[in-house]
Amino acid sequence: MNRTERGLAMKIAACLLLTGALACSGVHAQTKKAEEKVPGPPAKLERMPEPLETRFALSAAPPHLREQAATYLLDPARGYVLSHKGTNGVSCIVVRSDWQFDEAFRDDVYWPVCYDA
């Protein structure tokens, strides 16, 4: 191996070492952040304005299905309540929790979802 090849090999090794170190520090930072999360009382859930929640929920359905779709709005005291009875078997809501992590309803998570019959 000549001098140029050795220099190139050392540069590649240094880049791999640096990449590995950065990857490990990123994983460590994410793990540390998750460990520091202290559970507290859930924030008071605010009701979304009804017209906004309805439009947002229906936005998840194709336009030709929206008018006949059922919509459910979230009442923080009772859960999801039927707002408009549909006729085409499609039901739409605005999800207000992150179900993947078994957390209660939240004020910082919103996404529209529609289900068919």
Residue 88 has pLDDT above 90, yes or no: yes
Does the pTM exceed 0.75?
A: no
Question: Mean pLDDT across the stretch 72-90?
Answer: 93
Q: Could you tell me where the DSSP H helices lie in the chain?
A: 3-36, 50-58, 63-66
Q: What is the mean pLDDT of the chain?
A: 77
Q: How would residue 4 be classed by pLDDT, with cut points 50, 70 and 90?
A: confident
Contact call for residues 11 and 44 (beta carbons, < 8 A): no
- Rg over alpha carbons for the chain, rounded to the nearest Å, is 25
* CA 54 – CA 57 distance, rounded (Å): 5
Residue 45 has pLDDT above 90, yes or no: no
Question: Mean pLDDT across the stretch 1-12?
Answer: 68
Residue 96 has pLDDT above 90, yes or no: no
